[in-house]
């Protein structure tokens, strides 16, 4: 071992074995509970995030089964209106804010640093903080639900129903504050992803060599950054209206009920793409791997992602077509809503072309991609339907829309996500999920999903509104509703099998090699699961498919320090190395800061003074977080 | 158990309740007919698109299985195909957008109608106000809108509390009732009949039981109906109903409900002057019969939990009398 | 897989400043988030104004004195702020210490003026929607001044501690200076909106 | 590495189970929102025991058994607020500051601030113009309204108190303690016989 002139230990001085040992010492978290609470490893946090999000998926699924039980028969008395309203609100809020967005970002937390060939995400402590605050938000919502203070105003919380006069108690406040928790965590991740991708890519990975999943996460992160402030401002104004008597939404004093809808959907529509675009990246990744060739039309797909991201901000009014806005504006939003089908169509065509030209291998991840195509195209086409104002006046707020967005969100996001879990499970856990199980899971979910949700289109056209806890026997809906409820059991069985398979495989699945699928991207260039430092030597990239162009060898860079957590900063466009940079070490402060923030936010549901007194511990914990501890990472 | 009997009575009334037309696919009003044409057209077109995409997907998945040896497809051919598909998408999208605009124009604006009815939604029922004229005083009713067939009718939409949405799918698309704003909707029935509608915007506990009936009838029948509705309530003939009237006025009922021509002038509940003539009670919950009225009055919180009608303690005689009185208010 | 070393990184600096530093980009991203928030409050202000029969609703336009003085003060603070950033890039510890003390003072002074701005609006948050939005805008901007002042104070303490004299701290100072520029820049449209639109 | 994950897994599983048990316990303790009051319970609420002068007294036992819902439960308080408007209370009492009838906000309770007195005032009426509502409201509604009226005048705002109206504002909403804001000093002991302020 020889140290360089400045006393640093560099990887150039070490053999492979010595290097791995030295890096493991530098990058590992301490063992035990303390290490679990203070770790800033993006893989540990990402895995934790994914697992938590899937727990929320399961809980949300249980709620949906309760709703199906209630709706199976007309005038059923299994769940009363008060509880039903809480259940459907919880289902929507939980799935959107605690499952769909976080799980996509969680996959990015785990895989983006690996795919761009760096050793940790940018701002690792912010990452840890983000997880704790997300967990706190989820617990707040669910504990409130258990103690009968669950929100009962819908996941959209329209005023005045959610406002001070009609939303009795703290139910709507819990919802609004849960928004703050989840949006803080989502915004934090978005910043981390953007900076990781812009500044921490492997040398040579210019922007046109970025894997498509990474591109999709960059666009998604920008959507988060631009869209989520709207909902934070909206939910804050709602709490202010309820707690201290502001008049943002009070028409009698110059406010406006529709202002809420504008703010909510200015966030709410991009939200759909925040969930869908990562799935596009997943599909692109899986299609490339299982057809054995790069996705056709890389540039077209990236342009489609960006175009979708921009158009996403011009559509929100199509959620308000029946609110009585001026006709001219509605026509504009019909055109823009229809137009978003063009980039979506382009993506579909590119994947079809890839499959056409490639040699498909029918493994479980690819099956989910096929299922995605079948279902998502239906969801996209019904999306075109509801973009039309007259069409929408008949189906808005009916089960047609319920069917539509489940086709888009389950077909468009959950199918790719499940495929991605099967695909990346070896990298997440070091073990492989079962292929025969996987086929059953796919079959049950695919069949169950379509049997459950397709009939809802018909119910909607037959006049069944959404968000009703029951319906009268004379309405011609009971047959289909019973059918849907029975089909939902198939769907639930599929998910149950998935959870069993995942838990079983994580414990005792077949041990995976570094690159079991023969994929092309950098996350497969390291062990499964990756060591704490990800790569012993950082890869150097000179093509879009680094592992396919040179299958036998990995081109790497050398010269990074091993005494401190060190990674490489490269230029934004061309990924030319610019500096070695330290990455912060483990810290308990993010957890403390999250606890302080949680206290302040929950307290502020009850008293405006919480903002004053509650922010003092937050400030203290943040100072503790950033105050240098004299470790090598803090100095230069 | 009295409560159990009442519930059974109520459920029985529900089971044989009214049947109304409530489907976007069975349009009987001009706006709904235009929209139905659009729905059928777009759905047919989209089905074709879906079948084409699926056929391509199927072919793409199968072709490599059938031929063992395969020449590499040229990138150029793929580019051209994808471009062509994209161009086709743009054309279809543009076509559907234009079709949508034309449908909007065909439906027209509601301002030109001869008859104007004010609909005020509240948790969880509909207050319907017909303006008076020289020949006839104005009047209020609830949860039931009568319109002359074949005429444009403008419905002014207001809300007393939260956002509701007025939707009678067989006649027209929906429109929200937003507090602090005034919206309106054009209704026009081409065929006499009873068209059922339902609140379509989530509005709280009893959003599920907030139905409204639109009854389209020949103009002469409509006028007859309007004249009878504008009259004060009749004095009940039978002894039951007469006793019921007395009980009604003495009990809390009168504090919330109006029966024109009596001392009952409450305004927080529906106007009951001609409640017996309406097809349903409690916003489309049950058909109006003496039994269902009794079940409703005896225990409104079981039939429609959370609604604003309290459970008034009544003896069984009072209950019978009041239901008889209500039924007599034709 | 065999590793083949093709690139030598030994000559790279151990830390970067400006666009080379992730924290610079992080600051930029947070500025984008908060900038979106500020822009949205202005949009809400204009939206409410478009609904109102007259503006400002139920009161007179705000008094100019406190707000204008604060604006001038904020603009004036840009000079020492830019200098601090320059000194930090030059890693001049003595000047940076001095500059940070000046900036801390220039951060606290607007907070005092801000206390006079709320009454200058002639309306309370609970009187009508105009009151609600102006208090909201002022409050949102005040929290930004406050966070930056606290950050400046902490940095000042750091620069006087043994942790001060490293390139990383100087990088933090430049990022903090950039953030203060942002706080000032966002105030200008807010000032125009709050004080001059009601006078149009 | 492997070991560390399993450690944290155990910690998380333990935390999850603890949270689950706590939540279930809380959920079991907490009654769901009651939309329908059983008729026997409702008639039980009629059984106030008033002092001979009609000013103070004790609520029926069943009221305590229910957990004093009309003073602490947000749903009942908001229903009370509806009833306040629907039954014409503003005609005499305005927004709570009084008019032809007495104010609820100035800390003066002519018959004391206990909910029983307020229920009795509404149910049986009082001299000088307060009509009895016995025949116009059910006893449950009277309790709801009484709880709300008490809330208007509370000096320490109740957590469950309603927020502002979607209407013209005349005073701070009930959840901000309007009595405290509008009459900061509170009552000076002019009528010490009428009990403490709430």
User: Does residue B143 contact residue B211 with C-beta atoms inside 8 Å?
Assistant: yes
By Cβ distance, the residue of A160, A350, A393 closest to B35 is A393
* ipTM (interface pTM): 0.92
Q: Cα–Cα distance between D52 and B321 in angstroms, integer? A: 38
Q: Please list every residue in chain D whose beta carbon sits closer than 8 Å to the beta carbon of residue C126.
A: 164, 169, 172
Kindly tell me if the per-residue pLDDT of B6 is higher than 70: no
As beta bridge partners, residue A10 has A561
Instruction: Please determine, for residue D5, whether its predicted confidence score (pLDDT) is greater than 80.
Output: no
Residue D195 reports pLDDT greater than 60: no
| C132 interfacial to chain D (CB closer than 8 Å) | no
* CB atoms A142 and D23 under 8 Å: yes
CB atoms within 10 A of CB A427: 24
Q: What is the pLDDT of residue D111?
A: 87
Residue B91: exposed, middle, or buried by beta-carbon count in 10 A (0-12, 13-18, 19+)? exposed
pLDDT at position B111, please? 66
Strand B286-287 to C2-8 pairing: unpaired
- Counting residues of chain B whose pLDDT is more than 70, the rounded percentage is 91
* Interface contact B246, partner D, CB < 8 A: no
Percent over 70 (pLDDT), chain A: 99
Residue A631 pLDDT grade (very low, low, confident, very high; cuts 50, 70, 90)? confident
CA A308 to chain centre: 17
Top residue of D41, D46, D76, D87 to mutate, by most chain B CBs within 10 Å, is D87
CA atoms of A61 and A84, how far apart (whole Å): 14
| Residue pLDDT, tens place only, A185-241 | 999 999 999 999 999 999 999 999 999 999 999 999 999 999 999 999 999 999 999
At D128, the pLDDT band (50, 70, 90 cuts) reads confident
Burial of residue B48 (CB within 10 Å: 0-12, 13-18, 19+) is exposed
- Under an 8 A CB cutoff, do A558 and C47 touch? no
Name the β-bridge partners of A465: A398
* Class of CATH domain D39-185: mainly alpha
Q: Quick one: pLDDT band at residue A458, thresholds 50, 70, 90?
A: very high
pLDDT at D194 (0 to 100): 44
Q: How many other C-beta atoms can be found within 10 angstroms of the C-beta atom of residue A572?
A: 15
Print burial letters for B142-169: b (CB count within 10 Å at least 16), e (below 16).
bbbbbbbbeebbbbbbbbebbbbbbbbb
Q: What pLDDT shows up at residue A5?
A: 56
Q: What is the pLDDT of residue A2?
A: 54
Q: Is the pLDDT of residue B15 over 60?
A: no
Strand ranges inside A259-397, DSSP E: none
- Closest chain D residue to C128, measured at CA: D169
Give contacts of D172 with chain A, Cβ < 8 Å. 245
Answer whether B22 touches A (CB < 8 Å). yes
What are the structure tokens assigned to D178, written together? 């309007």
Is a pLDDT exceeding 50 seen at residue D197? Answer: no
Q: What is the pLDDT of residues A326-354, one digit of tens each?
A: 887 888 889 999 999 999 999 999 999 99
Write the DSSP string, A211-252.
Answer: -HHHHHHHHHHHHHHHHHHHHHHHHHHHHHHHHT---TT-GG
How many whole angstroms separate alpha carbon A127 and alpha carbon A189? 6
Residue ranges in B192-289 assigned as alpha helix (H): 219-230, 239-250, 253-256
- Res. A178: pLDDT tops 70: yes
Identify the residue among B180, B279, B307 best suited for mutation to test binding to A, counting A beta carbons within 10 A and taking the highest.
Answer: B180
**Are the C-beta atoms of residues B26 and A388 closer than 8 Å to each other?**
no
Would the pLDDT of B211 be above 60? yes
Q: Nearest to residue D46, comparing CAs of D93, D116, D94?
A: D116
- C-D CB pairs within 8 A amount to 5
State pLDDT tens for residues B274-289: 999 999 999 999 999 9
Residue A91 CA to residue A65 CA, distance in Å, equals 10
Q: How much is the pLDDT for D28? A: 59
* Dist. CA A167–CA B66, nearest whole Å: 63
Q: Which of A472, A475, A478, A481 to mutate to test the interface with B (most CBs of B within 10 A)?
A: A472
Q: Which two tokens stand for residue D163?
A: 């927020």
* H/E segment holding residue A510: strand A510-511
- Choose between B52 and B111: higher pLDDT: B52
Q: What span, in angstroms and rounded, lies between the C-alpha atoms of A8 and C12?
A: 13
Q: What is the pLDDT of residue B174?
A: 93
Low-confidence ranges of chain C (pLDDT < 70): 1
**Nearest by CB: A198 against C5, C25, C129:** C25
What pLDDT, on a 0 to 100 scale, did the predictor assign at position A584?
Answer: 92
On the question of pLDDT at A245 being above 70, the answer is: yes
User: Could D164 and C126 be called an inter-chain contact, meaning their C-beta atoms sit closer than 8 Å?
Assistant: yes
Per-residue pLDDT, averaged over A355-361, amounts to 90
Residue A16 pLDDT > 80: yes
Q: Which residue of A has its CA nearest to D168?
A: A252
Residue D1: the pLDDT is: 37
Which chains have at least 3 CB atom pairs separated by less than 8 Å from chain D? A, B, C
CATH topology of domain C22-199: 1.20.120
D169 contact residues in C (CB cutoff 8 A): 126-128
Contact flag A577-C15 (C-beta cutoff 8 Å): no
Nearest to D7 among A31, A55, A170 (CB): A31
- Would you list which residues of chain D are within 8 Å, Cβ to Cβ, of chain C? 164, 169, 172
Residues in B touching D123 (Cβ below 8 Å): none
Q: Indicate the pLDDT class of residue D29, thresholds 50, 70 and 90.
A: low
Residues of chain D with Cβ-Cβ distance to A28 below 8 Å are 1, 4
- Residue B311 has its nearest CB partner, among D39, D87, D166, at D39
Mean pLDDT of A484-489: 96
**Alpha-carbon gap: A329 to the closest alpha carbon of chain B (Å):** 12
**Span D15-21, average pLDDT:** 74
- Give the length of chain C: 200
Q: The pTM is what?
A: 0.94
A509 touches chain D (CB under 8 A): no
| CA neighbor of D122 nearest in space, from D143, D91, D108 | D143
Inter-chain residue contact B305 with D135, CB threshold 8 Å: no
β-bridge mates for residue B119, sequence order: B128, B157
- The pLDDT confidence band at residue B19, using thresholds 50, 70 and 90, is very low
- The interface residues of chain A toward chain B in range 325-344, judged by CB-CB distance below 8 A, are 327, 331, 334-335, 338-339, 341-342
Residues of A in contact with C126 (CB under 8 A): 244-247
Which of B21, B124, B174 is most worth mutating to test chain A (most A CB atoms within 10 A of its CB)?
A: B174
d(C-alpha B133, C-alpha B158), whole Å? 21
D140/B308 CB distance under 8 A: no
Distance from C-alpha of A293 to C-alpha of A520, rounded to nearest angstrom: 9
Question: Is D191 in CB contact (< 8 Å) with chain A?
Answer: no
pLDDT value for D193: 45
Check if CATH label 2.60.40.420 holds for domain B3-17+233-272+285-328.
Answer: yes
**Kind of pairing between the strands at D57-58 and B175-177:** unpaired
Phi-psi region of B140 (alpha: psi -120 to 50; beta: other; left: phi over 0): beta
């Amino acid at each position: 071992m020889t140290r360089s002139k400045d006393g640093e230990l560099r990887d150039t001085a070490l053999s492979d074995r010595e290097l791995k040992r030295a890096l493991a010492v530098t990058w590992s978290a301490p063992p035990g509970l303390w290490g679990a609470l203070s770790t800033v490893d993006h893989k540990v946090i990402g895995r934790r995030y994914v697992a938590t999000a899937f727990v929320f998926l399961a809980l949300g699924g249980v709620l949906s089964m309760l709703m199906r039980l209630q709706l199976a028969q007309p005038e059923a008395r299994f769940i009363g209106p008060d509880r039903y309203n809480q259940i459907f609100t919880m289902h929507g809020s939980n799935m959107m804010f605690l499952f769909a967005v976080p799980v996509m970002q969680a996959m990015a937390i785990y895989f983006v640093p690996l795919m761009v060939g760096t050793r940790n995400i940018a701002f690792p402590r912010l990452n840890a903080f983000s997880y704790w605050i997300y967990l706190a938000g989820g617990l707040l919502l669910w504990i409130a639900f258990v103690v009968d203070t669950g929100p009962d105003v819908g996941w959209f919380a329209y005023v005045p129903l959610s406002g001070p006069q009609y939303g009795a108690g703290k139910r709507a406040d819990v919802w609004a504050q849960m928004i703050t928790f989840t949006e803080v965590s989502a915004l934090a991740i978005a910043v981390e992803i953007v900076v990781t991708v812009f500044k921490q890519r492997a040398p040579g990975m210019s922007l046109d060599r970025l894997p498509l999943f990474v591109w999709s996460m960059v666009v998604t992160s920008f959507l988060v950054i631009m869209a989520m402030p709207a909902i934070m401002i909206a939910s804050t104004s709602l709490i202010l209206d309820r707690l201290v008597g502001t008049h943002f939404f009070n028409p009698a004093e110059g406010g406006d009920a529709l202002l809420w809808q504008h703010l909510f959907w200015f966030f709410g529509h991009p939200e759909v793409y925040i969930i869908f675009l990562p799935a596009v990246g997943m599909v692109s990744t899986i299609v490339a791997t299982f057809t054995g060739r790069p996705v056709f039309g890389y540039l077209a797909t990236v342009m489609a992602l960006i175009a979708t991201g921009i158009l996403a901000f011009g559509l929100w009014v199509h959620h308000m077509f029946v609110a009585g806005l001026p006709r001219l504006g509605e026509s504009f939003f019909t055109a823009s809503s229809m137009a978003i089908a063009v980039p979506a169509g382009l993506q579909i065509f590119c994947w079809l072309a890839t499959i056409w030209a490639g040699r498909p291998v029918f493994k479980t991840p690819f099956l989910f991609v096929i299922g995605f195509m079948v279902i998502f195209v239906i969801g996209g086409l019904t999306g075109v339907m509801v973009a039309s104002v007259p069409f929408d006046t008949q189906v808005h707020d009916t089960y047609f829309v319920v069917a539509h967005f489940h086709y888009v969100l389950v077909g468009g996001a959950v199918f790719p996500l499940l495929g991605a879990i099967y695909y990346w499970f070896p990298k997440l856990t070091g073990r492989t999920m079962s292929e025969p199980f996987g086929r059953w899971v796919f079959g049950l979910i695919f069949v169950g999903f379509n049997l459950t949700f397709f009939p809802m289109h018909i119910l909607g056209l037959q006049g069944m509104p959404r968000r009703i806890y029951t319906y009268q026997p004379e309405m011609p809906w009971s047959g289909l509703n019973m059918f849907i409820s029975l089909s939902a059991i198939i769907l639930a069985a599929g998910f149950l099998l998935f959870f069993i398979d995942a838990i079983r495989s994580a414990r005792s699945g077949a041990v995976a090699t570094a690159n079991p699928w023969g994929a092309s991207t950098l996350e497969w260039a390291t062990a499964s699961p990756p060591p704490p430092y990800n790569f012993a030597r950082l890869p150097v990239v000179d093509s879009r498919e680094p592992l396919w162009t040179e299958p036998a060898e990995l081109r790497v860079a050398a010269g990074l320090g091993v005494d401190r957590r060190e990674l490489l900063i490269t230029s934004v466009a061309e990924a030319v190395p610019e500096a070695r940079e330290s990455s912060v070490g483990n810290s308990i402060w993010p957890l403390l800061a999250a606890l302080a923030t949680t206290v302040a936010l929950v307290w502020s549901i009850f008293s405006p003074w919480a903002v004053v007194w509650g922010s003092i511990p937050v400030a203290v914990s943040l100072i503790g977080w950033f105050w240098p501890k004299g470790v090598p990472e803090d100095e230069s | 158990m009295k409560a159990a009997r009442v519930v059974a009575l109520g459920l029985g009334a529900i089971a044989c309740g009214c049947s109304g037309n409530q489907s976007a696919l069975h349009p009987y009003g001009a706006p709904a007919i235009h929209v139905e044409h659009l729905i059928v057209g777009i759905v047919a077109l989209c089905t074709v698109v879906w079948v084409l995409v699926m056929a391509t997907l199927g072919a793409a998945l199968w072709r490599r299985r059938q031929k063992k040896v395969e020449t590499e497809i040229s990138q150029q051919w793929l580019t051209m195909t994808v471009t062509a598909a994209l161009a086709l998408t743009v054309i279809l999208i543009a076509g559907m957008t234009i079709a949508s605009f034309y449908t909007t124009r065909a439906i027209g604006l509601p301002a030109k109608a001869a008859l104007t009815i004010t609909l005020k939604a509240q948790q969880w029922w509909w207050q319907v106000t017909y303006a008076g004229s020289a020949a006839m005083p104005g009047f209020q009713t609830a949860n039931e809108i009568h319109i002359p067939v074949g005429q444009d009718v403008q419905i002014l939409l207001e809300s007393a509390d939260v956002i509701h949405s007025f939707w009678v799918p067989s006649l027209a698309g929906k429109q929200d009732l937003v507090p602090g704003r005034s919206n309106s909707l054009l209704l026009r029935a081409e065929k006499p009949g009873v068209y059922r509608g339902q609140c379509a915007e989530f509005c709280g506990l009893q959003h599920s039981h907030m139905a409204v009936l639109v009854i389209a009838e020949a103009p002469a029948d409509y006028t007859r109906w309007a004249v009878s509705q504008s009259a004060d309530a009749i004095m009940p003939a039978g002894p039951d109903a007469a006793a019921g009237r007395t009980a009604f006025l003495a009990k809390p009922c009168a504090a919330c409900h109006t029966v024109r021509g009596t001392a009952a002038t409450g305004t927080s509940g529906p106007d009951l002057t001609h409640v017996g003539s309406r097809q349903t009670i409690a916003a489309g919950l049950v058909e109006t019969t003496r039994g269902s009225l009794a079940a409703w009055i005896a225990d409104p919180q079981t039939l429609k939990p959370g609604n604003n009608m309290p459970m008034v303690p009544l003896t069984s005689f009072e209950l019978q009398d009041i239901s008889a009185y209500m039924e007599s208010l034709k | 897989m065999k590793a083949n070393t093709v690139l030598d990184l030994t000559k790279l600096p151990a830390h970067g400043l400006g666009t080379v530093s992730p924290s610079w980009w992080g600051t930029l991203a947070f500025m984008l988030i908060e900038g979106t928030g500020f822009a949205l409050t202005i949009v809400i202000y204009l939206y409410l104004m478009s609904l109102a029969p007259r503006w400002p609703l139920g009161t007179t336009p705000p008094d100019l004195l406190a707000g204008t003085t604060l604006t001038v003060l904020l603009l004036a603070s840009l000079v020492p702020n830019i200098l601090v950033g320059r000194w930090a890039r030059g890693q001049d510890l003595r000047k940076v210490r001095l500059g940070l003390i000046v900036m801390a003072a220039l951060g606290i002074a607007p907070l005092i003026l801000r206390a006079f701005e709320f009454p200058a609006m002639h309306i309370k948050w609970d009187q009508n929607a105009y009151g609600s939005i102006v208090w909201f805008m002022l409050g949102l901007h005040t929290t930004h001044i406050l966070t930056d002042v606290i950050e400046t104070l902490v940095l000042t303490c750091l620069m006087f501690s043994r942790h001060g004299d490293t390139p990383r701290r100087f990088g933090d100072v430049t990022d903090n200076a950039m953030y203060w520029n942002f706080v000032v820049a966002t105030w200008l449209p807010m000032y125009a909106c709050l004080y001059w639109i009601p006078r149009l | 590495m492997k070991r560390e994950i399993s450690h944290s897994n155990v910690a998380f599983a333990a935390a999850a189970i603890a949270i689950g048990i706590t939540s279930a316990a809380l959920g079991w303790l907490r009654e769901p929102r009651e939309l329908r009051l059983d008729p026997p319970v409702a008639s039980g609420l009629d059984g106030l025991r008033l002092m001979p002068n009609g000013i103070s007294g004790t609520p029926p036992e069943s009221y305590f058994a229910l957990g004093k819902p009309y003073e602490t439960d947000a749903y009942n308080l908001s229903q009370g607020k509806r009833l306040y408007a629907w039954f014409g209370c503003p005609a005499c009492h305005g927004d709570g500051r009084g008019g032809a009838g007495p104010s609820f906000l100035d800390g003066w309770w002519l018959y004391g601030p206990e909910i029983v007195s307020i229920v009795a005032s509404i149910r049986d009426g009082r001299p000088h113009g307060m009509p009895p509502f016995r025949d116009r409201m059910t006893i449950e509604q009277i309790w709801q309204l009484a709880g709300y009226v008490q809330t208007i005048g509370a000096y320490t705002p109740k957590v469950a108190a309603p927020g502002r109206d979607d209407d013209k504002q005349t005073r701070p909403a009930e959840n901000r303690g309007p009595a405290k804001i509008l009459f900061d000093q509170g009552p000076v002991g002019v009528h010490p016989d009428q009990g403490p302020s709430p």
